[in-house]
Every structure is written in structure tokens, then in C-alpha cells.
Amino acid sequence: MAGPHTLAETERQVESKLGKLPLDYSAMAVASNLFRAATAVRNHFERTVLAQNNLSWTAFVVLWVTWIWEPIETRQIALEGGFSKATLTGVLSTLEVRGWLARERSEIDGRLVVVRLTPAGRSLMADLFPAFNLQEQHIAGPVDPARRDELAEMLRLITAGVERTG
């Protein structure tokens, strides 16, 4: 639960308070439920599989993006992860101290910083990601397996539409 009220209680209260306004309630339900689901999923991952390695969601995203795209420039990590360069700097420092990644100057442009996982970081991700995927399966569990691709596509459409319009 995201707050002290259930989803059904919140939806009833919204209808009670706003029911007379000319609003698109189905659009409101999509946006609010998407936000609530994203928050619940992130919190679930942080409480379960990420807590076992003392990782925040942001730290995991940095490791994931680096693992998939390495070597990768810091500005690309920030873009892929959707967070500020200032946030990224702190997270990179923490992960570097833990021995999971290394930063170096770009050979192409010395003003840029490139990030790579260390062998320990690659080992962490190879061990962590199967456990992460088990939690992804748990999260997707309530959705009929035959409809998961459809749901994923709907979420892609929402993401693309927001990214396109800013």
C-alpha cells in the first residue's frame, strides 16, 4: 500500500470530491495507477532483492545500465537512468568505493568520464539479476501471462508518448 488508504478508498474519495468536474477520469486513473504501481514496484525491489546487497533503486539502475552498455559515459548513464548528474556522481562514488565499478577519462575526449564494471561488479550483476528477475515474476504474477506482452506494449506507448512530448 502506498499510503494509509487503499486504492479503492482513494478512488471513491476522488469521485466524491471531483465527481462534478468535467474531467477525463479514465486518463486520471491510468496516470495515478501507473504512478502508484511504479512506486510500489520500486519499493518492493528495494525491500527484497536490493536490500540483500545494500543497494538503492538508483544504484541498481546505474549498475544495470553500465552492465548492459559498458563502457558508457556518465552523461549517458544519467540519461538512461532518468536522474541528474549530481545524483549520479554520488552514486558512482559509492559504487566505486564498494569495488563494483571504475571511472576513467575518455580516450576520445578527456573532458568525458567513462564507466565500466569491475570484475566484482560483473559478478554481482550476474548473481543479482536472476534474483531480481524472480521478483519481476512475482510482480507480474497477478497479470495473466497471455496478457503480459500486451501490458508491456501499453506501458511502452505511454512512455514513448511522454518522451515525445516532454
Interatomic CA distance for residues 127 and 55, integer angstroms: 14
**CA angle (17 as vertex; 13, 20 as ends), nearest 5:** 130
Contact assessment for residue 136 and residue 130, using Cβ atoms and an 8 Å cutoff? no
> Which cell goes with 34?
501507473
pLDDT tens column, 87-110: 999 999 999 999 999 999 988 888
pLDDT tens per residue across span 52-79: 999 999 999 999 999 999 999 999 999 9
- Report the number of distinct structural domains present in the chain: 2
Q: State pLDDT tens for residues 131-149.
A: 999 999 999 999 999 999 9
Q: Is 163 contained in some domain? A: no
CA distance 59 to 52: 13
Residue 166: is its pLDDT beyond 90? Answer: no
Q: Is residue 17 part of a domain?
A: yes
Residue 1: pLDDT band with limits 50, 70, 90: very low
Q: Say whether both 39 and 63 belong to one domain.
A: no
61 & 119 share domain:
yes
Mean of the per-residue pLDDT values of the chain:
93
Query: Cα–Cα distance between 71 and 69 in angstroms, integer?
Result: 6
pLDDT of res. 8: 83
Same domain? For 17 and 76 the reply is no
75 assigned to some structural domain: yes
Query: Measured between alpha carbons, how far is 55 from 63 in angstroms, rounded to an integer?
Result: 10
Domain with residue 80: its CATH number is 1.10.10.10
Domain boundaries, position 60: 56-125
Has residue 14 been placed in a domain? yes
Q: Are residues 92 and 43 in the same domain?
A: no
Residues 69 and 36 in one domain: no
Residues 67 and 117 in one domain: yes
Same domain, 43 and 60: no
Both 71 and 33 in one domain: the answer is: no
